[in-house]
Every structure is written in C-alpha cells, then in structure tokens.
A and B are shown apart, each in its own frame.
Chain A
C-alpha cells in the first residue's frame, strides 16, 4: 500500500516563527512536490524536487524554501511565518510518467 505521510495534520504557529513541514514517501519516487490549497484558488505548486538535493521553484515560492537530503523526504520551510501563509499544505510524490500520490495534508494556522 503506497504511502505519503506528513508530520502533522494540524499546526498552529506565531508570526515570525520558523516552521518545518515534513513529508515522507515510501515508494522510491523521484519527484516530490509541495502545494498549498486555498478556497477558490485550487492547488498551487510551491516547490518541487525531481531528485535528491535538486529543487525547482513552483508557481508561488516566495516566503518558502525546501530541502531534499534523502530521496524519501522532502521538507518545506517557512523561514519567518506570516499570517498569509495560513493554509492547507499538501505534499505529493510521483514516479516519472505516472500518477501523483498525495499526503493527508497539514492545516497550518499562523497567528
């Protein structure tokens, strides 16, 4: 049974805090992705990685960074959280040329 897991389902942080969202997949997928989902805006890509230590900016990378030190793990970092980063964050992974598998999501609230 394929699996993408995220470190937290719900997270509450304060403005200015550094936030780490962790994602782990057990399918040996090359590609991993971070999205945020906001009402009326659909899924928007923040960053993606197509291999270890490789990363590319998605459509809305401002205010975020990522880390991929191991193939199975892709971390999203909010260097200094702001209230406009309150959102649902979804991680996904994909074998090249195949469908994408999503994690359960992390609902982040920044106060």
Chain B
C-alpha cells in the first residue's frame, strides 16, 4: 500500500482568500498523480492527471504543480469561493493500469 499524505487535514478560509494544499507520495515507481474534488452529496470528480516532473496544470482558479523527484504535489486555489468548498483528494499511481491510492484528503470550507 502506497503511503499518501495530504495536509492540512482541513482548512477554513474566507471568500477571496487564496490557499494551497500538499500531497506527498513515494517518488519511486511513480507513473501519474491524480487530483479529485469531492463535494458533499456528490461523487468525486477529476481535476487533473499529471505525469511529468515540473508539470503545472490549470483549470480556472485552480492549479497544480508536480515534483516527482521529491514526491509531492501542490494544489492552489486563487480567490476561493463558497462553491470551492469540498474535500480535495490526491492519488498517485505506479502504472497505466494500476490502482489509485487515495490520500485522506484536505477538507476546504470557504465562508462569506
């Protein structure tokens, strides 16, 4: 079982604040790193799939970076909005067909 750590466990920010979370994973046998957003009462939805060291992906106000050599990824949210409130999960994988190992997530709450 891969050891995947996410920090912080939870975060409470005000609307308009920018924030970031960390995902740490073993750097050996790395293939890809997935980020998902999981809103209450909904299913997890994919944000990014990243494979290359130094890769940076962006979707609207959300972006992510990847460091495969040291085994971490950052997720950034610029100008947080209440609709960003969700649990953000990361999951590394060691091969194209292999399973994802999910971290326990960072729970973000954005208030007005």
Which A residues are closer than 8 A to B by beta carbons?
Answer: 4, 30-31, 33, 35, 40-45, 48, 50, 56, 58-59, 90, 96-105
Contacts and interface: CB of A to CB of B under 8 A. Distances in A.
Interface in B14-65: 32, 34, 36, 42-46, 49
B97 A96 contact: yes
Interface in B71-95: 89
A55 to B, nearest CB: 12
Contacts of A97: 32, 96-97
Contacts of A43: 44, 89, 102
- SS class, residues of chain A in contact with chain B: strand
B104 A42 contact: yes
B43 A41 contact: no
B104 A40 contact: yes
A102 B97 contact: no
B34 A42 contact: no
A102 B43 contact: yes
